[in-house]
Structure 1
Amino acid sequence: MVRRITRRTAGHGLQLPARAVSEMRSELAVVADRVVDAIIADVPGYEGALSGPMGENIRTAVQLALGGFLSLASGRRGVDPRTPAAPSVEGAYQLGRGEARSGRSTDALLAAYRIGARVSWREMSATAVRSGMPAETVASFAELVFAYIDELSAASVAGHADEVTTAGRARQRLLERLAQHLLDDDTPVETVLDAAQRAEWEPPTTLTAVLVPDSQLRPVLSAVAASTLVVPEPPARPGADRESLVLVPDAHDHRRAALLRVLGDRGALAGPARPWLEVRASYDRAVRARDLGVELDTEAHLTALVLSADAAARADLRAQVLAPLGDLRPATAEKLVETLRSWLLHQGRREDVAEALFVHPQTVRYRMGQLREVYGERLEDPDFVLALTVALG
């Protein structure tokens, strides 16, 4: 539907002599050819674009537009005086949409109109003068010509803008659908590939899931790759309704540092880079890290993520390895657990353990003696030491 355009030609009051109109109408095909030739010669965006069937279509459109103008200028009966140029304006609107689909800018389109107006006026004014049209009428005729061209160019610009907007919305919907497929483990690979092709989205090597506060979404998007996907409805996360999810392409290896600089202190959190078809794993890790209170970089907190992967299993392991201390007084057991943990982390270096616990090295020696009495040779068993390290980590 064409946008509302100011009708400067409505009720213009000019009525050209029938003879002049007849002569101009007989030359419409020649004028159309000259208009198209001038556009090809003077507007780089149309060089080579108006040959073949397309050139013929444009020539026909020019003839129709000029024919509509002559009907307007002659006061032909049957033309609605309120919107005398409506059919031509609608055609110009559709032309603008077509030019947007062809990838040409409004600059090229308006340049073509300027050249078309100049050539059309030159040809038609020559005919008007030959037909003996009075100078006063010629002046009014000129005013109407350029008002008519203004209407057509405005309609074309409106059509171009509407097509860009419509195409943008359509592609955004396709990109959102692609992002949702990527996060759905049940979606077949073939469906994801087809969605990427429909959205005209070139698959990257990797994708990185990034959780971004809604208030920071625009600044982040302005600083990352244009092909970044925004997920409007990520898999449900209770209490996270003020956070958005974006999937950033090829932010792996040294490029991850650049991504982290962009995220900075924005309260965002980046998951790991994963092959693009496996980005759900990046999202899942980011979600788990967010639940732990991690900020900015999940990869700086891998130990905590591993230890918290199965909290119940870790609690059971802790209870199992500390069971031998169950008969001791709680205060004594607590000190021995603290010493055992430090001993494991410092690989048995007594001085380091004492420094970490703010006790004398002899106290560490005494406590470790107590622990050896409880655990015996198991403190030398690699498997048991691993279990202790995980349980107390």
Structure 2
Amino acid sequence: MAEPSGTTNRAARIELDQRVARELRDRLPLVAGQTVTAITAEVPSYSGTLTGQMRDKIENAVQIALGTFLQLLEQSQAADRTQVNDPSTPLVPALEAAYALGSGEARSGRSVDALLAAYRVGARVSWRELAAATVATGLPAATVAEFAELMFAYIDELSAASVAGHADELASVGRARRRNLERLTQQLLAGEAEDVLLRSAERADWPVPQTLTVALLPQAKLRGALALLGEHTLESSEELPAGEPGEETAVLLVPDMHGDRRRQLARVLHGRRAVLGPCRPWARVSSSYRRVVRVVALGIAQPTDGEPLDTEHHLAELLLSADVEALADLRTRVLQPLAELPAATAERLTETLRSWLLHQGRRDDVAADLFVHPQTVRYRMGQLRELFGDRLTDPRSLLDLTVALALPAGGAAAG
């Protein structure tokens, strides 16, 4: 995993006779016990966790690490200078063990800060105890100083290896979780069965919400929106005809934005050219996605830099566009009395009839809507009554006319 560093070469400068080495080795169990006691007392993340068999295991690991350090000194003295960097040096397995320790701590949920704090405490306590032994054996001050420098360099290398293991584990777990979240998102959008979705949610460690709401927005606006939404919001990139030509589009699946929270979601998406789908039970969010896609495809309205385009405000247009050919046929049939008129005249009378239906015959409102004088409305309605006869009082005919003329000619219903 790691290559020996300068610590191995520098170890050759320390001269420890067998008596001193034996004194230090005899002290290792005490040093290990005091080190673990200090870590549990000073590092909150380890408080109450290093007990029983776990404590014995960690004390043994500390003894092995410090024993490896002494072995490093002894081997370095015996080795030829050309052999110091041999891969068989005890530093290699020590660094591999430290790397594995870092990976394990990441899997246990402890932070790298806690791990480094444990190393700092361990270095301080270990040096305090071993220094007392080196001084008691009568080592020269220069040798004791070199011993201290080498020991702290060794522990620095171990801590660096542990940090690397911690970071690699988190990166690996993060990549796996991202893949699982991406798979879950695609399954939700595709409308997979709920049991399939539940298994995927569990694999992705994603808490199942009560509802999900789809929001569509330009990819360039995504980061800002995500920063304001909950951490469990799902995202996906989709190729949909929304926004500017060539602009990439993002789909968000936002948890639990039902009821009054929908206004909160609208505020977050304000100014982001977003299209907002209906809220649905989480396993049925695919219907919210289909609604958004349909509104975008029909061009019922265009998202702007203001309020999000809320599909809930365009349900009538969606219904009327469900069968475009049927609506066109209905429009042709109910407007048949105007078929023989000049095109301009037929258009004016059609718009007048549409406004009269929508305003329930209120002449002044129709005049304001069409920007004409009320007398003009009266005149045109006279013409229409002559052309349509009893159909303007028959309930069924009025329903057909209202549906057929609910949207302006050339609007979403046209295609």
TM-score (norm 2): 0.87
Aligned to 1:192: 197
What are the residue-to-residue correspondences of 1:361-376 with 2, within 5 Å?
361-376=374-389
C-alpha deviation, 1:241, in angstroms = 6.4
Which of 333, 337, 345 is equivalent to 2:358? 345
C-alpha deviation, 1:360, in angstroms = 3.4
Does residue 1:388 correspond to 2:401, yes or no? yes
CA distance in 1, matches of 2:321, 2:302: 12
What are the residue-to-residue correspondences of 1:174-213 with 2, within 5 Å?
174-185=180-191, 187-213=192-218
Judge conservation of contact 2:240–2:249 (CA < 8 Å) in 1: no
Change (3 A) 1:261 1:353: same
CA distance in 2, matches of 1:354, 1:230: 48
CA distance in 1, matches of 2:218, 2:342: 48
Aligned to 2:412: none
Partner secondary structure for residue 386 of structure 2:
helix
C-alpha deviation, 1:240, in angstroms = 7.0
Aligned to 2:331: 318
CA distance in 1, matches of 2:108, 2:329: 65
C-alpha deviation, 1:194, in angstroms = 0.8
CA distance in 2, matches of 1:15, 1:245: 67
The gaps in structure 2 that reach 5 residues or longer are 407-415
Judge conservation of contact 1:183–1:279 (CA < 8 Å) in 2: yes
User: Bigger shift: 368-377 or 312-321?
Assistant: 368-377
What are the residue-to-residue correspondences of 1:6-25 with 2, within 5 Å?
7-12=5-10, 13=12, 14-25=14-25
Judge conservation of contact 1:8–1:151 (CA < 8 Å) in 2: no
The amino acid that maps onto 2:343 is P
Aligned to 2:411: none
Partner secondary structure for residue 270 of structure 1:
strand
The amino acid that maps onto 2:113 is D
Partner secondary structure for residue 273 of structure 2:
coil
Query: Could you list the per-position Cα deviations for residues 123-182 of structure 1 after superposition, in whole angstroms to 9, with x for gaps in the alignment?
Result: 212222233322221111111111111111111112112212211111111111111111
C-alpha deviation, 1:249, in angstroms = 0.9
C-alpha deviation, 1:188, in angstroms = 2.0
Does residue 1:303 correspond to 2:316, yes or no? yes
C-alpha deviation, 1:78, in angstroms = 7.3
Judge conservation of contact 2:218–2:247 (CA < 8 Å) in 1: no
CA distance in 1, matches of 2:17, 2:399: 103
What are the residue-to-residue correspondences of 1:197-346 with 2, within 5 Å?
197-232=202-237, 234=238, 237=240, 242-291=248-297, 292=299, 293-295=301-303, 296=308, 297-346=310-359
Aligned to 2:413: none
The amino acid that maps onto 1:378 is R
CA distance in 2, matches of 1:247, 1:327: 52
Judge conservation of contact 2:211–2:281 (CA < 8 Å) in 1: yes
What are the residue-to-residue correspondences of 1:19-168 with 2, within 5 Å?
19-76=19-76, 81-82=84-85, 84=89, 85-168=91-174
Does residue 1:359 correspond to 2:372, yes or no? yes
Judge conservation of contact 1:211–1:245 (CA < 8 Å) in 2: yes
Judge conservation of contact 1:307–1:390 (CA < 8 Å) in 2: yes
The amino acid that maps onto 1:287 is V
Judge conservation of contact 1:294–1:301 (CA < 8 Å) in 2: no
Judge conservation of contact 1:15–1:75 (CA < 8 Å) in 2: no
CA distance in 1, matches of 2:41, 2:372: 90
The amino acid that maps onto 2:222 is L
Q: Please provide the CA RMSD for this pair.
A: 2.2
Partner secondary structure for residue 208 of structure 1:
strand
CA distance in 1, matches of 2:375, 2:116: 90
The amino acid that maps onto 1:197 is E
Query: Could you list the per-position Cα deviations for residues 234-266 of structure 1 after superposition, in whole angstroms to 9, with x for gaps in the alignment?
Result: 4x6467761111111112222222222221112
The amino acid that maps onto 1:15 is E
Judge conservation of contact 1:209–1:279 (CA < 8 Å) in 2: yes
